[in-house]
Chains A and B, each alone.
Chain A
């Protein structure tokens, strides 16, 4: 297609995906509050709009109008840059995630992905690695011992579990033979024995377990949310932040959750593959619907675990990551390699 069509399409896709992602972040917060509330035998937000659906809007307005206080003792440049780093890198990964097959409009086929890079998975891993800086610099620039400890613990935890995250994905890479996310999903088409879909979760269950645990630790969620433990570290690395900057950390955490859920869907749950039926317009949109259903299921699992489990202590957390999860991921890798060679 001509270059100007490509550029216009990319801009429209980026704007649309960004808008949808930010709305999804806001409503993931709503979903979490409702689900955790119901698990704890209470209603979540119910007052603001039907079923509390306007609660995220109310929260957004509150964050905008709160006083954005910059304490005098902080290291200003990094204090302001840290939430920006966190939120920018949390939102960047969505650029390589495919949501479905192509849509044909005006004679051109537009793939439902902002850009298909043939090292897409490595880019997501790289962006996650650099996202650690937001947390570390926030902790240090706050010039506050609780923030520093929280920030160092959080970044040490994220760096440790990145390794298990990467290694758990290598088993899937061996099976699909490419780093491109679209290729990985296309390798999961079809069925075993006619009715079990050829999803990687059935072929690599151990890898899915490692990925799930590493994902909980990467996004600092229960049971690995010690960096934000209110009873121990005040509020960890975002103690000194208020209003909009705090909202950015909050958004970054939920955007990371959504990115991790998208990645799990693409790699383990078969991406956008699902029953396709109906007229052509429905056939073009059903893959996106199945993708969203799988992400919703994964996020529900995340929130369910949050409502259920207590949190790990820091040394238990690090021991789990280095002494159990990493050898398990390596063993899975070796077993997969042997199985493929045979």
Chain B
């Protein structure tokens, strides 16, 4: 039955799949990055359909608004050009595309055939920030603290790895032509 829910799901899903395929097809990394941002925005729409409002907002703020900005910065800074096809990539395309296609079709067929048709209604599980916060700070407190330490380590690692090598040798050497 063609409900608005199904139409919205298909629209967001089509945008997500189109973005994912565009990421594969485009040669310049900046186009791939913008396609990935479109995928993330479509997924935020899907999360809203499932009622996960806080997760959708965090997806836009953190993933599309911060992590992808970082990717776009690096692409701009390193001035990454159009990528060329090598022998390895041709083999990978020849074997990988049919293989992945077959695998995905198999998984999709098994999934659609053997899982029930019990629908997930719109806004099935309202994920209000208050309830997620309570869960995060009561039952999931230990993973929360561990991820905070993880972020601290990531900050330190990123600062050290991306810093320019010092004049007295430093961690990196220029390649000789």
A–B: direct contact at CB < 8 Å: yes
Give the residues in chain B near A118, CB-CB below 8 Å.
53, 128
Alpha-carbon distance between A156 and B129 when the two chains are bound, in angstroms: 28
B residues 54-97 touching A (CB-CB < 8 Å): 54, 57-58, 60-61, 64-66, 69, 72-73, 76-77
Range of interface residues on B (Cβ < 8 Å) = 20 to 34
Q: B31 to nearest A CB, angstroms?
A: 8
Please determine whether A129 and B76 come into contact, CB atoms closer than 8 angstroms: no
Q: Which residue of A lies closest to B62 (CB)?
A: A129
Bound form: Cα–Cα A151–B34 in Å: 17
Question: What are 5 A-B interface contacts by the 8 Å CB criterion?
Answer: A117-B53, A122-B54, A122-B58, A129-B69, A136-B72
Contact B30 A126 (CB under 8 A): no
Contact yes or no, A129 B65, CB < 8 A: yes
Contact status B37-A136, CB under 8 Å: no
Measured between alpha carbons, how far is A325 from B61 in the docked complex, in Å?
20
Q: Report A105 CB to chain B, min CB distance, Å.
A: 27
Interface residue A246 (Cβ < 8 Å from any Cβ of B): no
Q: In the assembly, what is the distance between CA of A162 and CA of B62, in Å?
A: 11
Given contacts A129-B61, A137-B72, 6 further A-B contacts (CB under 8 A): A78-B34, A119-B57, A119-B129, A130-B64, A133-B69, A179-B129
Known: A78-B30, A119-B129, A140-B76. A129 touches B57 (CB 8 A): no
Give bound CA distance, A92 to B66, whole Å.
Answer: 19
The residues of A with any CB-CB pair to B shorter than 8 Å are 78, 117-119, 122-123, 125-126, 129-130, 132-133, 136-137, 139-140, 148, 151-152, 155-156, 159, 162, 177, 179
Counted as pairs of residues, one from A and one from B, with CB atoms less than 8 Å apart, the total is 58
Contacts A148-B76, A152-B73 given; indicate if A133 touches B61 (C-beta within 8 A). Answer: no
Contact between chains at A126 and B60 (CB < 8 Å): yes
The A contact surface, by secondary structure, is: helix
- The smallest beta-carbon distance between A143 and chain B, in angstroms, is 11
Give the residues in chain A near B53, CB-CB below 8 Å.
117-119
- In whole angstroms, what is the CA distance A130 to B66 when docked? 8
CB proximity of B134 to chain A, nearest CB, Å: 13
B42 to chain A, nearest CB (A): 14
Given contacts A118-B128, A148-B76, contact A129 B64 (CB under 8 A): yes
Among A139, A156, A159, A177, find the residue whose CB has the most chain B CB atoms closer than 10 A: A159
The answer on a CB contact under 8 Å between A126 and B61 is yes
- Residue of B with least CB distance to A81: B34
Closest 9 CB pairs of A and B: A129-B65, A122-B57, A126-B60, A126-B61, A140-B76, A119-B53, A129-B61, A119-B57, A130-B65
- Residue contact B57 to A126, C-beta cutoff 8 Å: yes
* B64/A152 in contact, CB under 8 A: no
Q: Mark B94-134, 1 if CB is under 8 A from A, else 0.
A: 00000000000000000000000000000000001110000
- Output the nearest chain B residue to A155 by Cβ-Cβ distance: B69
Which chain B residue has the least Cβ–Cβ distance from A125?
Answer: B61
Q: Closest residue of chain B to A166, judged by CB? A: B61
A183 to chain B, nearest CB (A): 12
Write out the residue numbers on chain A whose beta carbons fall within 8 Å of the beta carbon of B76: 136, 139-140, 148, 151-152
Contacts of A133 in B (CB 8 A): 37, 69, 72
CB-based contact B128/A130 at 8 Å: no
Do the beta carbons of B73 and A130 come within 8 Å of each other?
A: no
Given A136-B73, A140-B30, check contact A119 B60 (CB 8 Å): no
Instruction: Give the one of B37, B129, B130 with max A CB within 10 A.
Output: B129
The answer to whether B69 touches A132 (Cβ under 8 A) is yes
In the complex, A123 Cα to B41 Cα: how many Å?
13
Question: Which residues on the B side are within 8 Å of A78 (C-beta)?
Answer: 30, 34
Shortest distance in angstroms between A115's beta carbon and chain B's nearest beta carbon? 13
Question: In the complex, A151 Cα to B73 Cα: how many Å?
Answer: 10
A122 vs B127: C-alpha distance when bound (angstroms): 14
Asked if A159 and B69 sit within 8 Å, CB to CB, the answer is: yes
A122 to B61, CA, bound (A): 8
Out of B54, B60, B64, B66, which one reaches A159, CB within 8 Å? B66
Most buried by A among B37, B61, B64: B61
Interface centre among B34, B53, B57, B66 (most CB of A within 10 A): B57
In B113-169, the 8 Å CB interface with A consists of 128-130
Q: Least Cβ distance of A133 to chain B in Å?
A: 7
Q: Closest CB of chain B to A95's CB: distance in Å?
A: 14
Contacts of A155 in B (CB 8 A): 69, 73
User: Closest Cβ of chain A: how far from B77's Cβ, in Å?
Assistant: 7
Q: Which residues of B contact A129 (CB under 8 A)?
A: 60-61, 64-66, 69
Q: Which residues of B contact A156 (CB under 8 A)?
A: 73
